Amino acid sequence: MLRLLWLIPTLPIAGFLILILIGAKLHRRAVSIIAVGSVAASTIVTALVAISFLASPPVGNHYSQMLWTWMEVGSFASKFTFYLDALSLVMVSVVTFVGLLIHLYSTSFMANDKAYSRFFAYMNLFVGSMLLLLLGEDLLLTYVGWEGVGLCSYLLIGFWYKDRANAQAAMKAFIVTRIGDAAMAVGLFILVVHFSTLHIPSLMEAISGYPVGSPLCTIVALLLLAGAVGKSDQLPLQTWLPDAMAGPTPVSALIHAATMVTAGVYLVARTHAVFIKSPAVMMAVAGIGTATLLLAALSACVQQDIKRILAYSTMSQVGYMFLALGVGAWYAAVYHFVTHALFKSALFLGAGVLIQALHEEHNIFKMGGMRKFFPGTHGAFLASSLTLAALPPVTLTFNSKDVILNRALLPPAQGGLLWVLALIGAFLTAFYTFRLFFVVFWSPVHKEPGRNGPRLMVYPLIVLAFLASVAGLPELVKAVTGAEGFYDFLNTAMPKLPGDLGPAREWGLQAIYAATSVVAIGLAYRLYVRRRGVVDGILRTPSLTMLHRLLEMGWGFDWMYAHLVVKPYVWIAQANRDDVVDGVSHGLAQACRIYNRVLSLSVNGKVRWYVGAISIGSAILLAFVILL
């Protein structure tokens, strides 16, 4: 069964090729069948591969399938090989399954869009590229997928490109990500120069021979981290994600919540051997993650656009994954990726149902009372919000964030500061999640929805929300019976760092986390359900108004970059407009203009002058012929 591995990325890419070439001429039903069918087939193949991988684990707990030698230049050779281990299997399963549900949802969400086949062509290309990224055994192949998902992100953010703001948001996302990608490419070049290969297992083996803290490892780790930071929307390249919400909502759910923004997490987890060798960079990863999760969570508390709240929430949750990576809890980062992909796409899809039913209304304070109109969406939203707020025992998936926090107290990080900041982040997470939930679903009705959510849109999100809230089951089973859990499976691909808190402290911490969530939800309930208006009163204080505005703008990073980068660049470009190099081209143009003026003097429109010129010319020619 494992030999079917190559089909997983090939099927969606085939779907893309069909749709992009002849999709515009096909009937909508045919487009849906091709688009959803290709991803569904890919999901089925993934399930088959996963079953055979789990039932009879291959030697060394990984399987690679070489298709052909891609390129061979001197001592450098790159092979087109797919690599399957616990890490890529988990990620591939999530991408295909969530991708399938979002494709189904989109057939209804985009039903009245003119560019139906173009949308699904891009979506299929995205799924294919993402799978290529995850399955590549060679970093070069991963890089192809990496750029492929970046391209799809650009195409889909700017999907409604006739609106200038959408096109600009797409451009911003593309360019900001590109800064990270350029650094990552340099990192790959350094790897090629030193090891003359980009084959990940060989690279990791070669690097494990280096001493801890060697300059090469530090530089490579930093450059790879820059790529990951750009893609995963972390500080300081985090400005593009809130604007990326300009795209259609299923795109936000699939690309900007569930899958692409976690590509950076995958990259760091995949190349963890490099990061282990440089503790400084590990600390940087943890620091970046913590800073991002706090700043984004604070911004999420004041946003009014439902999609922007969810975007800041995504940024913050990916920050938790980076914190996990930074403290060496690779398995916890991947576990949090899985649960986040499920509940965040459910939240986005729920937001899509509401936005469409309320005629493109994004402001949560203009929604209100949606509980009555959308019982299914309400239930799914509640389950996902509880999962996001990590509230046991209502949701079984309360432990994904807690493992990260526990690990922050253990070596190599041993950071009490990181732990405290992350705990504040958890409090804010529960608060902004339930602020959104209470305002949208439980406050008085402001606006009657135009229509109910179609079944094809509500069912996928119920499935996602259900899975999100039970995704913690394997770990609970492990805690009770001692069977092999999810983490042990992931640890076959990535080493588990030593250290343990012991059951007593773990239970104590667990109680703290639960209490934090409960208090935050209670606060949100008090402020936004019981005593509405209190918040408005507080915000009228002048100093708080300033802070509120700062948070709403996402800490003014856009403003800062506009003044630090964009304006100086534009100034230099303008000042440098007439330099020496331009002299050549301008001189050429000037010479042409002078020659043109001289020639047009002879074309004076006087017939008699023409006759005279012809006569003199003929006389001169004749003289030449006769005399020479």
Partner 1 sequence: MATVPLESVLILAAILFVMGLVGVLIRRNIVFVLLSIEVMFNACGLAFVTAGWYLSRPAGQAMYFFILTAAAAEVAVGLGLILHMRRAFGTLDTDKIDQMKG
Residues that bind partner 1 (CB under 8 A): 599-608, 611-612, 615
Token couple for 215: 């300059």
Q: Which is nearer to partner 1, 56 or 602 (CB)?
A: 602
Q: Which is nearer to partner 1, 74 or 605 (CB)?
A: 605
CB of 615 to partner 1, least distance (A): 6
Q: Which is nearer to partner 1, 27 or 606 (CB)?
A: 606
Distance, CA of 459 to CA of 380 (rounded, Å): 9
Phi then psi for residue 72, to 5 deg, are: -145, 110
Q: Encode 262-314 in three state secondary structure.
A: HHHHHHHHHCHHHHHCCHHHHHHHHHHHHHHHHHHHHHHCCCCEHHHHHHHHH
- For the range 405-409, what are the long-range contacts, defined as Cβ-Cβ under 8 Å and sequence gap of 24 or more? 405/509, 405/513, 406/501, 406/506, 406/509, 407/324, 407/327, 407/328, 407/329, 407/332, 408/286, 408/323, 408/327, 409/501
Residue with tokens 């330099």: 579
CB of 601 to partner 1, least distance (A): 8
Q: Which is nearer to partner 1, 75 or 602 (CB)?
A: 602
Distance, CA of 388 to CA of 434 (rounded, Å): 10
Q: Which is nearer to partner 1, 584 or 607 (CB)?
A: 607
69: left (phi over 0), alpha (psi -120 to 50) or beta: beta
Kindly report the length of the chain. Answer: 628
Q: What is the DSSP letter of 60?
A: G
Bond prior to 248 in cis (omega within 30° of 0): no
Q: Which is nearer to partner 1, 573 or 603 (CB)?
A: 603
Bond prior to 236 in cis (omega within 30° of 0): yes
Find the largest Cα–Cα distance for the chain.
Answer: 118
Q: Which is nearer to partner 1, 193 or 603 (CB)?
A: 603
CB of 591 to partner 1, least distance (A): 18
Helix (H/G/I), strand (E/B), else coil: 208 = coil
Q: Which residues of 532-564 are buried (b: 16+ CB within 10 A; e: fewer)?
A: eeeeeeeeeeeeeeeebeebbebbebbeebeee
360: left (phi over 0), alpha (psi -120 to 50) or beta: left
Inter-residue contact 354 to 367 (CB < 8 Å):
yes
CB of 595 to partner 1, least distance (A): 12
Helix (H/G/I), strand (E/B), else coil: 136 = strand
Using a 10 angstrom Cβ sphere, with 0-12 exposed, 13-18 middle and 19 or more buried, the burial of residue 531 is exposed
CB of 627 to partner 1, least distance (A): 17
Q: Which is nearer to partner 1, 111 or 614 (CB)?
A: 614
Distance, CA of 352 to CA of 350 (rounded, Å): 5
CB of 585 to partner 1, least distance (A): 25
Q: Which is nearer to partner 1, 212 or 594 (CB)?
A: 594
State how far the alpha carbon of 235 is from the alpha carbons of 182, 241, 317, in Å.
Answer: 17, 11, 13
Q: Which is nearer to partner 1, 584 or 598 (CB)?
A: 598
Q: Which is nearer to partner 1, 587 or 612 (CB)?
A: 612
Distance, CA of 361 to CA of 527 (rounded, Å): 23
CB of 609 to partner 1, least distance (A): 9
Distance, CA of 385 to CA of 395 (rounded, Å): 10
DSSP 558-584: HHHHIIIIIHHHHHHHHHTSS-HHHHH
Residue with tokens 């949701």: 395
Inter-residue contact 227 to 271 (CB < 8 Å):
no
Q: Which is nearer to partner 1, 59 or 627 (CB)?
A: 627
Q: Which is nearer to partner 1, 545 or 618 (CB)?
A: 618
- Can you name the residues that pair with 77 across neighbouring β-strands? 72
Q: Which is nearer to partner 1, 420 or 613 (CB)?
A: 613
CB of 599 to partner 1, least distance (A): 7
Q: How many other C-beta atoms lie within 10 A of the C-beta of residue 597?
A: 9
CB of 614 to partner 1, least distance (A): 10
